[in-house]
Structure 1
Amino acid sequence: MPARLDRLPWSRFHWLVVLGLGTVWILDGLEVTIVGAIGSRLTEPDSGLGLTTAEVGLAAAIYVAGACTGSLVFGYLTDRFGRKKLFILTLGLYLVATVLTAFSFNPVMFYIFRFFTGAGIGGEYAAINSAIDELIPARRRGLVDLAINGSYWLGTAFGAVLTVFLLNENLFAPEIGWRIAFGLGAVLGLVILLVRRNVPESPRWMFIHGRDEEAEKEVAEIEEGVEKETGTSLDRVPDDKGIEIHQRRSTGFGEIVRVAVTQYPKRFVLGLSLFIGQAFLYNAVFFTYSLVLTKLLGVPDDVAPWALVPIAIGNFLGPFLLGHLFDTVGRRFMITLSYVGSGVLLVGTAIMFDAGLLDAFWLTACWMVVFFFASAGASAAYLTVSEIFPMETRAMAIAFFYAVGTGIGGIIGPILFGKLIEGGIHDVVIGYYIGAGLMIAAGLVELFLGVDAEGKSLEEIASPLSAQTPAQKPAAKA
């Protein structure tokens, strides 16, 4: 069955998967940018909330905590109850929570709804990335994953432009504009939900969990649709491409941990390195960039958000333009190049910034180049952990590394950089060196421990835990 899915030519079915599942990253980019951009508005008494600056920071931390919690809880449920149930449930949770956020009338309500908004988004990552990898042909998996993960920055650019207009008091009252911003996120989420209803469950997951007849029917329908679309018959898959498995209803949490730590310890270290490096860089540097512009370079508050747009474009173009190289040149070389290259470029940017050679325009231009490579690497981190662990633990692996990386980067990074900004440009440069060091170190870990997964079936990269050994009695053939 995996070989039948991997041999399929690109078709409308695959576009349905991309549009129905991949657009969640746009929502996350939109959410994070909106909150960052409206932070100053929420501190105004006539905003309807009147938060302090510290409370705005607390709300951001609560969103991160919700995302980490949601990724772990829903990641486990995704492996246990299926991809489709959870990618519908998590999007539904996001929709309800972000709508309720728009109707927050005190800080406590705002905190609670931000937590559950984050939980929905965090849960999406585990359900979505596992489903995408299991439905997209192996030869296109790298390009598709990187392009989808890079779409986060489309949401960032859209959110930056959107808030400029929604915060304009000539157009919207102070207590209305920021609420509309959250409402528009819900509208986009509802459109995605309507498309997502038509995305099927992963046949790989169904087969292992004893629903082989449903899986066979689903794959046959996909194949029939592709043949009608292309007007040609698909090649028959040789019998030796099958995998003998022992079907199971669920996989315990203890087994998930044991597999990651004892069976794949090098891959475990690899995943941690990639996620911590990119999470620190993005959460520490990117999300404090407006403070660098306003506090250290004298850029007006109403102009600073526009700097996020070119940086977001650089972040999107990196995985979009380089993605196919991860399938052709290879994962190990390209991930190493992306991480080490962005780290070296960051060192160069720090040196010039410290020497007073960069104003706001040229610092933004340098960040566009740095994040062009860093974004490709960060997207590849999600690709890596979604394909190097067995199918039964895939969603939980994505959830774990996302939670650890986001937790460390989303807490330590911003706190550290907030302090460094108070000390001036020289102190900020020290933070840049730290971020560069973590990215270069992660790139070197990839060089020595990376997995050459390009063009390979997921089952070839990591055999399912349910796979039968020759000495075992065959149970079913996928």
Structure 2
Amino acid sequence: MKPASVIDAQKLIDEHPFGRFQRLIFFMCFVIVMLDGFDTAAIGFIAPSLLTEWHLAKPDLAPVLSAALFGLAFGALVSGPLSDRVGRRSLMVGAVFLFGVACVTSAFSTNIGQLTLLRFITGIGLGAAMPGAVTMMDEFCPTRRRATVTSLMCCGFPLGAACGGLLATWLIPHAGWRSVLILGGVTPILHSVLLLFWMPESVRFMVANGKPVARIRAILSRISDEAIHARGFALTESAPGTGDKGLGVVLSRAYIVGSLMLWIAAFMGLLVIYALINWMPILLKDAGLSLRGATVISALFPLGGIGAVLCGALMDRFNANLVIAACYALAAISLFCIGETAGHIGLLVPIVVVCGVLMNTAQASMNALAAAFYPTEGRGTGVAWMLGMARFGGIAGSFLVAELVRSHFTFVGVFATIAVAGALSCIALLVKQFALPHVFRPTPGGVGSLSH
């Protein structure tokens, strides 16, 4: 066979099925997202044990419960630019190992101060690992299936949270609260070994940064034998480059409006989610429901993340900005309706379920939206900074509801205020859609085109 001169790496990925090699990458990234969900849920379940063992008051738990969120934000903001300079693989392996070691070490904490510090370090690792997984998965996906596969991977978070809750309820009575943290740390340490041996570097990163042809050929040949005969590799980007890297791309004139709108949408979205996860049981109980009823109804809200798969499929077929904006708009309406139906449990249950599906679906789909928006030179930073800004929204969500309750807002008023945040997410994505100099649109054949 005559040697090919130059092969376009993304075109080769697009022209071949999502094969066994890519499914292995998907599995490894999916586990990272699951571990994030496990850790997020598990810390809440060990909190009552901490109160008893260390003789704490409930307000004493605030630092340890929020420390990981601050670590997540810090880890995301720092890791993104690094991944665009040193690569996705090494940063991801290091991040998973870091949060595993920190989680295991936190199991041997003797006071709340030690645990708070170690939770912050755990959060740094998680904050770096999650955007790395999103970016890596996006860069090994065919364009026509990118949003679907990335969104499916993000469903690992609610699955991990569910597993974390179930395992914690069994482990704590049998082995104590420390066993939960040990399990939550040993698993990522073992997974980092798997990543070290099996996770490849992103070929799109390698091509964009002029890495040796032999290394790129070795990876792409696992997707198609065509790569074996290539003399060199090129990369066609669906998003225009700027000549910069990392933050230079994200804050460039071509991307600054879109970046700001992604940050606002993700910030407001996570504000809503954390406000409801942390406060809905209390608000529903104060509105007249029994403690059991309030707990059961509140538990329905996080289950909606699985809808991200359907949303990802719609994003691959239609305009992604408008698909997610519609989810946020409908979520805002359903949030307002929750406030109006507190006394009618027959209406409240389906509305909470619908709200959970819409809100969690929209938020999970933001990862795929950000990954597709930026070129390879800035994708790691773009995804990580959006997730980092979103974590600050999660922190703000808990404080917002606390202030509303302190200001004697009614049940209706609290949910109407939270609904405004959902509406702002919708507006931000509409601004991103109509203010950008370029809009990426998938064609029926799955090949991207740019319209100006």
Same fold by TM (over 0.5)?
Answer: yes
Segments of structure 1 that go 5 or more residues without pairing to the other structure are: 228-232, 245-249, 463-478
2:182 paired with 1:183: yes
| Residue number among 410, 413, 416 corresponding to 1:430 in the alignment | 413
1:345 counterpart = 2:353: no
Structure 2 partner of 1:205? 205
SS of residue in 1 equivalent to 2:200: coil
Which secondary structure state, in structure 2, belongs to the residue aligned with residue 210 of structure 1? coil
User: Which whole-Å deviations, capped at 9, do the CAs of 1:45-91 have from their partners, x for residues lacking one?
Assistant: xx2x3333222111122111111111112222211111100110000
> Aligned partners of 1:183, 1:428: CA distance in 2, in Å?
40
Q: Deviations over 1:257-298 (max 9, x none)?
A: 465242223312321232122111111112323333555556
Instruction: Report the CA distance shift for 1:454/1:104 in structure 2 as closer, same or farther (over 3 A).
Output: farther
Comparing 86-95 and 449-458, the one that deviates more: 449-458
The letter of the residue matching 1:357 is H
1:38 aligns with 2:46: yes
The Cα offsets for residues 296-320 of structure 1, whole Å up to 9 and x where unpaired, read as 556458x97665654333232x113
Q: Distance in 2 between matches of 1:159 and 1:306?
A: 18
User: What letter matches 2:391 in structure 1?
Assistant: T
What does residue range 307-386 of structure 1 map to in structure 2 within 5 Å? 309-316=299-306, 318-353=307-342, 356-358=343-345, 363-386=348-371
Preserved contact between residue 157 and residue 309 of structure 1 (Cα < 8 Å): no
- Give 1:15's aligned residue: 23
1:357-391 deviation line (CA, Å, top 9, x unaligned): 238xx645432211111122111211122221221
1:69 matched to which residue of 2?
74
How far is the alpha carbon of 1:102 from its aligned partner? 1.3
2:161 alignment partner in structure 1: 156
**Matching residue's letter, 2:341:** M
Q: Distance in 1 between matches of 2:426 and 2:66?
A: 28
Matched, 1:196 2:195: yes
Tell me the amino acid that sits aligned with residue 369 of structure 2. T
Gaps of 5+ in 2: 1-8, 238-242, 434-438
Amino acid at match of 2:352: W
SS of the residue corresponding to residue 410 of structure 2 reads helix
Matched residues in 2 for 1:71 and 1:240: separation?
Answer: 30
Alignment check: 8 A CA contact 2:147 2:369 kept: no
1:40 aligned counterpart, secondary structure: helix
Q: 1:38 to 1:371 in 2, by over 3 A?
A: same
Give the Cα separation in 1 of the matches to 2:446 and 2:68: 35
Q: Aligned partners of 1:188 and 1:308: how far apart in 2? A: 29
1:405 correspondence with 2:404:
no
Q: Which deviates more, 428-437 or 390-399?
A: 428-437
**Matching residue within 260, 277, 281 for 1:290:** 281
Contact 1:390 1:459 in 2 (8 A): no
1:99 to partner: Cα distance: 0.6
Deviation digits for residues 332-362 of structure 1 (CA, Å, limit 9, x no counterpart): 3321221111111111111112xx2238xx6
Provide the alpha-carbon RMSD of the alignment.
Answer: 3.1
Deviations 1:430-476 (A, max 9, x none): 232222222223223323533445469999679xxxxxxxxxxxxxx
1:269 paired with 2:264, answer no
The residue aligned with 1:103 is 108
Report if the CA contact (8 A) 2:33-2:133 is conserved: no
CA distance in 2, matches of 1:40, 1:335: 37
CA contact (8 A) 1:278 1:378 kept: yes
- Matching residue of 2:126: 121
- SS of 1:345's partner is helix
Aligned residues: 429
